[in-house]
Amino acid sequence: MSYCQGRKPCLNASLAMGLLLLSGAAGALPDVDSPVEIDLITAQATYLDTDPVKLEVRVTNGPADTLVQEGFLLSDFLLQIVFTDAEGNRFRPPDQAGPEPQGPSGRTDASGVRRPAVACERLLAGDQIVNRQDDMRVFVDLPPGSYKAQVVTSLAIFGESVGDPLLGNLNCFLDTAQRAVTPNTPAPFDANVVSNTVSFKVVPAQPAMQSDIELHVELIEVGSGAPPPPDNKSPLANVLFKLILKSKLPEVFQPPNHKNLAQIWNAVGPDIGLVATAKTDSQMGIARFFGVDKDAYLLLGRYTGSSETRFIRSNVDPDEPEWETSSPIMKNAVVVQNHKGRKE
């Protein structure tokens, strides 16, 4: 199906020619309800602009076989969805060029009469055609906004057919001659068949709430020879810290505690919870992490300045009040060490 002037749906040229022959021979086409129903389904009422827009079209025939125009069974009905935005602008996926069906030709009916006919196909009783698209953005631009969508497709239905003895394909007659012999023979007709209308919204995805994290680490010296407080405190510089997403730690490391910190330090990496690394600076002993997404984190550092390696940890929780502000999340950690370097 393509759009005529005014963006109204219209039949392709060859099929329209055949139907004009019909209307010229037998008057106006009857207003007949289509036995074929089309349902349009949206997976969600609201999509984020980062989500795929999933739509499905179901075309279902009624309780009897239906003769339809050639190519109808292979139609991609997703490409025949008409979208309407909040301003009333209507648009649809670009036409996918395909072979034009052949125009009308003469075929001999069971009575030996030569009559105008076109190629057609049979839609069996109760048959259903299902087209699914995981993301309609493949075909159309859907920026944030409100939309309505409806399938609009052309459908020609015929009352009688004859098989081609040479090619074996089906041809349907464009006139109503058989109705004079058998009044119950359905009259052929064409129409625009439309689906239900679905509505959905596309809304901007909210950016992840973020904050900077600053971890201030101090060294406190105690014991014989240590300076008196507060002179026994100094920034602990050049200590490497790892920012670790707790939810990505394997179950064996849950919850992190002093017994498994060494194993966590050795195990984490880009695929196992590691978000970033930073060293404490020499001026203030601060390790800084920038633009961190709101979540639960373990800050884990390894200090080797004493007689044995020790691990320094601090926790960042998702309910830290600074997530809601522009201020960085401030954390503190302390390493207590004997003045002579022995662990206290």
Q: Is residue 8 part of a domain?
A: yes
CATH code of the domain in which 87 resides: 2.60.40.2970
- Within 10 angstroms of residue 86's Cβ, the number of other Cβ atoms is 10
DSSP β-bridge partners for residue 9: 3
Least confident range of 20-29, 155-164, 200-209, 315-324: 20-29
Residues 197 and 82 occupy one common structural domain = yes
Residues 145 and 246 occupy one common structural domain = no
Structurally, how many domains does the chain consist of? 2
The proportion of the chain whose per-residue pLDDT surpasses 90, expressed as a percent, equals 50
- Within 10 angstroms of residue 88's Cβ, the number of other Cβ atoms is 7
Give residue 104's pLDDT band: very low, low, confident or very high (50, 70, 90).
Answer: low
Residues 47 and 194 occupy one common structural domain = yes
Q: Which domain holds residue 95?
A: 2-203
- The conformation of residue 343, written as its DSSP 8-state character, comes to B
Residue by residue, DSSP assigns 285-304 as: -EEEEEEEESS-EEEEEEE-
Q: What's residue 162's pLDDT?
A: 82
Specify which of 27-31, 32-36, 52-56 reaches the highest per-range mean pLDDT.
52-56
Q: Is residue 188 part of a domain?
A: yes
Residues 51 and 190 occupy one common structural domain = yes
Q: What's residue 237's pLDDT?
A: 93
Half-sphere exposure of 33 (CA within 13 A, CB side): 4
Average pLDDT, the chain: 81
CATH code of the domain in which 261 resides: 2.60.40.10
Residue by residue, DSSP assigns 110-130 as: TTS-EEEEEEEEEE-TT-EEE
Task: Decide if pLDDT at 27 tops 80.
Answer: no
Q: Is residue 193 part of a domain?
A: yes
Give residue 99's pLDDT band: very low, low, confident or very high (50, 70, 90).
Answer: low
243: left (phi over 0), alpha (psi -120 to 50) or beta: beta
Residues 252 and 283 occupy one common structural domain = yes
Q: What's residue 249's pLDDT?
A: 93
Run of H or E residues at 20: helix 13-26
Q: What is the largest CA-CA distance in the chain?
A: 121
Mark which of 152, 182, 203 sits at the end of a domain.
203
Task: Decide if pLDDT at 282 tops 70.
Answer: yes
Mean pLDDT value across residues 224-249:
89
Q: What's residue 342's pLDDT?
A: 44
Mean pLDDT value across residues 325-335:
93
DSSP β-bridge partners for residue 167: none
Residues 197 and 259 occupy one common structural domain = no
* CB 286, CB 237: distance < 8 Å: no
Residues 184 and 248 occupy one common structural domain = no
Mark which of 176, 203, 230 sits at the end of a domain.
203
Residues 318 and 268 occupy one common structural domain = yes
Q: Is residue 344 part of a domain?
A: no
Hey, which bits of 159-272 come out as E strands? 161-163, 170-173, 189-194, 198-203, 210-222, 233-235, 240-245
Least confident range of 18-22, 150-154, 236-240: 18-22
Mark which of 203, 236, 261 sits at the end of a domain.
203
Give residue 43's pLDDT band: very low, low, confident or very high (50, 70, 90).
Answer: very high
Q: Is residue 115 part of a domain?
A: yes
Task: Decide if pLDDT at 183 tops 70.
Answer: no
Q: What's residue 158's pLDDT?
A: 83
Give residue 274's pLDDT band: very low, low, confident or very high (50, 70, 90).
Answer: very high
Give residue 285's pLDDT band: very low, low, confident or very high (50, 70, 90).
Answer: very high
Q: Is residue 13 part of a domain?
A: yes
Q: Is residue 343 part of a domain?
A: no
Residues 273 and 126 occupy one common structural domain = no
Residues 284 and 169 occupy one common structural domain = no
Residues 193 and 222 occupy one common structural domain = no
Residues 93 and 232 occupy one common structural domain = no
Amino acid residing at 213: I
* CB 236, CB 286: distance < 8 Å: no
Q: Helix, strand, coil % (nearest 5) of the chain? A: 15, 40, 45
> What pTM, to 2 d.p., does this model score?
0.51
Mean pLDDT value across residues 135-154:
93
Q: Which two tokens stand for residue 257?
A: 């505690």
DSSP β-bridge partners for residue 308: none
Give residue 339's pLDDT band: very low, low, confident or very high (50, 70, 90).
Answer: confident
Task: Decide if pLDDT at 35 tops 70.
Answer: yes
Q: Is residue 333 part of a domain?
A: yes
